[in-house]
Amino acid sequence: MIQTPTSVAARRSNMLALMIASSAAVTAVASFDPVPAGEDPLRILLGNTEIESAPANTDAPAASAEPTAAAVAAVEYSPDFHLCIQQLEEGREFLSGIDSYKAIFHKTERLGGDLGERQDIEITVGHSPNFNIYMRWRNFEKGRQLLFNSQENDGLMIVKKGGGGLLNRMLPAISLDPMGSLAMSESRYPVTQAGILAMAERIIRIRNEEQTRGYPVDCTRLDDQEVDGRNCSAFLFKFHSKKTSPVYRTSRILIDSEYHIPVKVVNHTWSANQDSLTEKELDDLTLVEDYEFTAIDFKVKVTTEVFSRNNPRYRM
């Protein structure tokens, strides 16, 4: 059989695509409070038998029988609970008026029972006229790139493998469905839910749902803390049971005092024998998500080229 240059090139291209697709490290994406990867919540089984299984992603408290109006009215939420929501709503309004920004996103997640290493990712986010994001990894797989433009590439995200080496540089970028199994294999949330604005919106939505259903939540304002030199209001949420909060046992939210935007969220899940552990032991064992934004720049001028696959700096 005669092999034409076209057939050889096509076969090489297929082989390169397969090598990328089989790599477990091509699709780490970012976001924050629980967001479903599909209509049905995904579940993860945490490796330590002392930790109960918990859904990886859920957009709201667990579904249950509709509470009666009397039951909802009987639940009281602290002033700190309402203050946290108020600040986040103000931050959401501020972010809605920001066309674009740059930041460094830091994330640590538990997936499949294993707590992954911290990832530091440079991000550029565009809000107007549509959602766009460009990400470049500083560690983990240094040099990895991810580009998502909601108005281009048929809604697919583009991933370019990093990690150095001649082979990695030769591998072409590939397009992936942000909600697909491969894209979600290394991240708890899809890239379509990335960014500070999405984080604020999700936290607000979940807190509002808790109030609508009358789910009890304890919220306490802690002493102010600093994140990347920025003063922040700190709120600690403690949830009463897995029935009303299937993923989170506690959630600590730090909100920037100037812009009222969430800049750090640390979440812990449930343990089957948490009564026998100290608070530190329990937190060390059950850390499920740790997200943080630093080096936030709202004044940077971002051009459309930043969100284009044709940007020569990306080599996609």
Give 88-125 pLDDT, tens digit per residue. 999 999 999 999 999 999 999 998 888 999 999 999 99
Which pLDDT score, from 0 to 100, does residue 236 have?
98
The C-alpha atoms of residue 265 and residue 105 are separated, in whole angstroms, by 12
Residue 103 confidence (pLDDT):
98
Please say if the pLDDT value at position 133 is more than 90.
yes
Mean pLDDT of 123-134: 94
Specify whether the CB–CB gap between 294 and 228 falls below 8 A. yes
Cα–Cα distances in angstroms (integers) from residue 21 to residues 111, 121, 134, 224, 298, in the given order: 19, 21, 20, 44, 35
Q: 234 with 262: CB under 8 angstroms?
A: no
Which of 1-10, 44-53, 253-262 is modeled with the greatest confidence?
253-262
More confident residue, 46 or 143: 143
Predicted local distance difference test score (pLDDT) of residue 3 = 44
Please state, rounded to an integer, the average pLDDT across all residues of the chain. Answer: 81
Residue 61 vs residue 193, higher pLDDT = 193
Question: Once rounded to an integer, what is the mean pLDDT over residues 70-91?
Answer: 90
96 torsion bin: left (phi>0), alpha (psi -120 to 50), beta (else): alpha
Instruction: Identify the burial level of 97 via C-beta atoms within 10 angstroms of its C-beta, where 0-12 means exposed, 13-18 middle and 19 or more buried.
Output: exposed
Give the residues across from 139 on adjacent strands: none
Q: For residue 172, give the nearest of 9, 6, 5, 293 by alpha carbon.
A: 9
Whether the upstream peptide bond of residue 5 has omega within 30° of 0, thus cis, is no
Q: Report the distance separating Cα 268 and Cα 180, nearest Å.
A: 26
pLDDT tens for each residue of 24-63: 333 333 333 333 333 222 232 223 333 333 344 545 455 4
Please determine, for residue 19, whether its predicted confidence score (pLDDT) is greater than 50: no
The CA distance from 27 to 294, in Å, is 22
- Three-state secondary structure call for residue 191: helix
Q: Which amino acid is at 22?
A: S
Residue 166 clears pLDDT 60, i.e. is over it? yes
Beta bridge partners of 249: none
Q: What is the DSSP string of 199-225?
A: HHHHHHHHHHHHHHHT--EEEEEEEEE
Report the alpha-carbon distance of residue 306 to residue 9 in Å, rounded. 30
Tell me which residue has tokens 């034409």: 4
pLDDT of residue 10: 44
User: Contact at 8 Å (CB) between 234 and 223?
Assistant: yes
- pLDDT > 70: percent of the chain: 77
Q: What is the pLDDT of residue 111?
A: 87
Q: What is the pLDDT of residue 203?
A: 96
Q: Which pLDDT does position 100 carry in this prediction?
A: 96
| Domains observed in the chain | 9-307 (2.50.20.20)
